[in-house]
Structure 1
Amino acid sequence: MLKRLRTQFIITNTLYVGIVLMIVFLLICIFTYNRHIDELEEFLTKAASLSIEQSDVRLDADAPGHMLNPTAHIVVVADPETGSMIESFFFGAYLDDEALSACVKSALSSEDQADDLENDMHFALVLNSDGTVSIGIASTRPVRSEMIKLIKLLALIGACAVALGIAVSIPVAKLALLTTENAWEQQKRFIADASHALKTPLTVILANIAILRSGSIKNDEEASHWLASTEEEANGMHDLIRDMLVLTQSDLNVRRTEFTNVNLSGLVFGQTLPFEAVAFDKGITLETDIQENIEIRGNEKALSQMVTAIIDNAFKYEKSGGLVRIRLEKQVRKFVLSIYNASTYISEDEKSLIFDRFRRLKNAETRAQEGNGLGLSIARSVADAHQAVIDVESSQTGGTEFKVSFRHIL
């Protein structure tokens, strides 16, 4: 799929470049041709306006005071009433009487004072004071020859430009589709990880059902054990699907139109309260230092999910008798929410991976904890939607602290 997209990108860019070049080259050709014809008409008009004595001098390329381009041409003095030729003067060009007479008649019958004639000829007509007309006639073949040379040159330039465009489009296509490629790989990995995460509980549930249906259960206590195991796996699947839906909604991005003024102080305090029971049950010391009246622009529901995910992560990996500290404070031009637990250590290599979907720490203690590896992914998605930044500081002796920095904007 990505290869096809890359090919389509290159072809589309090449077509755009080719179309633009064709339009530009067409305009150049039209402008150049019209300019050549205008120059030819100007030359023929001046040639026809001159007297024969002046023409003999002015149209000589080697004569001093040369004014006009020595283009091969013919000047004919004719009677406009009868169409007969009175005099004809040849300057480097020649036509027989029949062809010349046909050109004169066509020029006299034309409504324009300058126009094309048959056989690649062009004329310009000037009315003389004695009632006759002087007609300058010249071939347009030199103009067409110049145009053919120009078209060949432009075609060569166009071919080189298209080839260069293709050469440039190849790395540009790779760069332009890099985000798409990453998103595609993330999607495939997400589907694979989700399938793997759902496969295990489904296998257990099906196995438990098979045992219950086999008739080998001897008493209610044993049946209750298998039912409890099935319920536990089903609840795990429920939590996993719920978190996947939350993450999908976060990926769609919280719309700015849904942002309101949110009391972040009250929100953090409210999300902390349910964990007091968890702290008591696990023997963990919970410390809070929440500065009051801190407000930000955001989506309250999404922010609640983010705060809960990070706090839950801290309690999940904190040892019994340990410490979890939650602090919210105003700093220079930003608000900082920090959630610290004393027991967890995250290596530098893992810091860049813990926000990936279904990613869990590799050490034995953390692998023993329950979870599906989506909590921090949800937190990062919500933070990105609010233009917040999540930093992680961790050491083997000092524990781990997650810091969420919000810009001070209302």
Structure 2
Amino acid sequence: MFKDLKRKLTATFVLTGFMFIALLFVVVYLVTSYNTTQKIDDILDQVLDGELNLQSAGGTVLPSGCIIVESYYNGDVFYAGLEEYPAEVKAEILTFATTPKKAKSEGTFDVDDYYFRYKKSTAFEGGGAQRVAFFDTSFTDELKFHLGNNLVIILLCSMAIVVFVSVKLADRIVQPTQRAWKKQTELVANASHELKTPIAIINANAGALENATDPADCKKWIKNITDQSERMSALISDMVKLAKYEADTGEISTEPVCISEILDGLGLTYEANAFEKNIDFECTIKPDVVIKSNAKLFEELAYILLDNAFKYTNEGGKIELLLKTDKKHVVFTVQNTCSGIKEEDLPKIFDRFYKCDLSHENSGKSFGLGLSIAKTIATKLNGVISAVSDGKSYLAMNVSFKQTAKDAKDVKDAKSN
């Protein structure tokens, strides 16, 4: 499908490029030819309008390439500029110029390998019947011929470049669509895989429930069905949330937000969870840190990272929530002890449905969508999220927000108000 799309785009770009360049070269050729013809006509007009006394033509000077022939009613013929031409050519020109009805008022005339443009005037002063001025266009025609050949060669070379650029451009245009299609296909495949297990369990428990007679067994089957239904609901909720964030390409509303207060509040919320799991939970949050952000989305981002840390930290482990600043950045970090992630797997951690075995206690309880949602939110907030691990003992999630001098001033003004 995408190969066909690339071919169609490439063909469209090549055809468009060819038509544009060809049209440009045709215009250049036609304009050059027109300007050349106009200059020749101007020269012919000057020769025809000049006061040339050809009967004493010893002092007559004509522009290079010009010929003039004057014929009179008494039969006399005078000419200038024919000295360099062969006798046959000279005779043909004189015959053409002295035959009253043979030549139109202007046009082209050729004899052997010589090509001329001419203009004619009649009944001029001095008793003349006809005056014809010629301009030898053999050289200019040869120049136009070479110009046409050169333009064709340039056109062919240009088309080679256009084809190369078109292929690259088509590939660049198709790549985002191809990536989106791949993500969509993977999403459907992974979601189907994730839903297959709970559906199978629900069907099995429903069958057992249908044949059960002991109330205790019925409660067990019902609980299993309820658990798997909740699991499917959670998966669908995460998928809808991810799709919503990815589909919303518009700008989000931002305002000065005290993220220290948000992180403090989340820290208090998770203290009970830490106590239940016997986890050492430390919060090192710099007070009164305010950035331009969206409070709701920032809280969602922090919640996902903390929830992920608690999910993959075994009993007796440690979780740290940190917030620090420097001159240009605000960084908050969620770090937890775990089995770690290999360096080559770190770039994949934000992929949808990617799972890594960080905690045997929670194996199979995650869908692998949380960090994908977190990355999408961080990007919408103009932040950069990254993962750091030594591969054996910890995993740290860092979210960095760049703060310009203007942002800092706006935040300071908001705090003072």
TM-score (norm 1): 0.82
1:361, 1:367 within 8 Å by CA — same for their partners in 2? Answer: no
Aligned residue number for residue 171 of structure 2: 174
1:383, 1:390 within 8 Å by CA — same for their partners in 2? Answer: yes
Deviation at 1:10, TM superposition (A): 1.7
CA deviation digits over 1:243-270, x for unaligned, max 9? Answer: 1111112213563352222221222223
CA deviation digits over 1:68-108, x for unaligned, max 9? Answer: 2235x4534579xxxx997563735535469842366x42x
1:122, 1:138 within 8 Å by CA — same for their partners in 2? Answer: yes
Aligned residue number for residue 212 of structure 1: 209
Task: Point out where structure 1 has 5 or more consecutive residues left out of the alignment.
Answer: 60-66, 108-114
Q: Does 1:346 align with 2:375?
A: no
Deviation at 1:337, TM superposition (A): 0.6
After superposing the two structures, state which structure 1 stretch, 398-407 or 314-323, moved more.
398-407
Aligned residue number for residue 160 of structure 1: 157
Cα 1:389–1:54 shift into 2, 3 Å = farther
What SS does structure 2 have at the residue aligned with 1:406? strand
Alignment-mate amino acid for residue 52 of structure 1: L
Aligned residue number for residue 33 of structure 1: 33
Aligned residue number for residue 371 of structure 2: 376
1:45, 1:125 within 8 Å by CA — same for their partners in 2? Answer: no
Alignment-mate amino acid for residue 32 of structure 1: T
Alignment-mate amino acid for residue 119 of structure 2: F
Aligned residue number for residue 412 of structure 2: none
Query: Aligned match of 1:89 in 79, 85, 92?
Result: 79
Deviation at 1:142, TM superposition (A): 6.8
Aligned residue number for residue 112 of structure 1: none
For 1:296 and 1:131, the matched residues in 2 are separated by 99
Aligned residue number for residue 333 of structure 1: 328
Cα 1:182–1:257 shift into 2, 3 Å = closer
Cα 1:56–1:126 shift into 2, 3 Å = farther
Deviation at 1:168, TM superposition (A): 4.2
Q: Pairwise mapping of residues 124-163 of structure 1 onto structure 2 (< 5 A)?
A: 125=121, 134-137=131-134, 146-163=143-160
RMSD: 3.3
Q: Does 1:236 align with 2:231?
A: yes
What SS does structure 1 have at the residue aligned with 2:348? coil
Deviation at 1:167, TM superposition (A): 3.6
Deviation at 1:234, TM superposition (A): 0.9
Task: Point out where structure 2 has 5 or more consecutive residues left out of the alignment.
Answer: 111-115, 408-417
Cα 1:202–1:46 shift into 2, 3 Å = same
Cα 1:354–1:376 shift into 2, 3 Å = same
After superposing the two structures, state which structure 1 stretch, 131-140 or 163-172, moved more.
131-140
1:125, 1:135 within 8 Å by CA — same for their partners in 2? Answer: yes
CA deviation digits over 1:311-342, x for unaligned, max 9? Answer: 01100011112221112222231111111112
Deviation at 1:290, TM superposition (A): 2.1
Q: Pairwise mapping of residues 10-409 of structure 1 onto structure 2 (< 5 A)?
A: 10-48=10-48, 49=50, 50-52=52-54, 68-71=63-66, 73-76=67-70, 87=77, 89=79, 91=82, 92=85, 93=90, 94=92, 96=95, 100-102=99-101, 106-107=104-105, 116=107, 122-123=118-119, 125=121, 134-137=131-134, 146-213=143-210, 216-253=211-248, 255-362=250-357, 365=360, 368=363, 370-395=365-390, 398-409=393-404
Deviation at 1:288, TM superposition (A): 1.4
Cα 1:44–1:283 shift into 2, 3 Å = same
1:326, 1:338 within 8 Å by CA — same for their partners in 2? Answer: yes
Alignment-mate amino acid for residue 102 of structure 1: K
2:201, 2:225 within 8 Å by CA — same for their partners in 1? Answer: yes
